[in-house]
A and B are shown apart, each in its own frame.
Chain A
């Protein structure tokens, strides 16, 4: 008799088998699936559309939640590269760090990361009508944050960093032509890609990020006031057509 909750021991199971077991559990009507002993298995929640909850104990492998379209995934450890690759909807909550290329081409849903992230996070994120993808990073990011960004919202908090330390690498927003990046702290001009400009944030921006940060803080049991304790800057594209005048017609 199904009670809507399933527990799968992933220890020593190859990803293909593990993901088949997850899909079978969903097909059997489970609403909440707890995976224990996860150790690097790739593609967990890949392409899944049902609005189920998947709780991961251990470190999931690359491309977690790739092409995902609905579920909520909670990782009680670090995650690796490619989280939320081309994700359409759903939510990923990572109680640790995450690797490179998080949210590549992501079009909807949320990825919340408590710790730091690697290179090219939020690359080519895009929004469409009411689908607005959101990535919030609690720690620091390195180079190419928001590269090629075409839409959506990226928020970088640097909660674990001292006030005077830079929380992001270079080439921030390179090739950006849509969307918004919010950074809690200072960014030097040399850190920016050529296609972005810095703006002060206004009341409209506050209205946009406040509910997102409240949700983020609730998920990680953090103090919302602390997340708002330093001023944010906003990065926007100089043009939504950065290469419009490159060509001879």
Chain B
């Protein structure tokens, strides 16, 4: 059986490491990107099942733009996009929603909860706050 593909997009090395550890070795086929352009390129090439997407990233494409592009691509639209952000304002969720994100988690978040959301593909109509359990 083929492993599910999961793409981690965050400009911070430590955070990517933490997500990597949380998701466990060998369970998923993991891809990583530190900026929007790389993330979009990997997504188009690998067609991942899940994308963990940081909102605030340097470069031309931030997380919202990447999400919008993925959801606009018919080949990628089915992929489960979980937005990660350090900003917790209502306007931010709204823009994530508009971009078609499936779920939204606010930093700091519980890695356990994140793994649960990813495994269950839980569509969160409300953002998960820091201590989201």
Partners in one complex: no
A residues near B (Cβ < 8 Å) are none
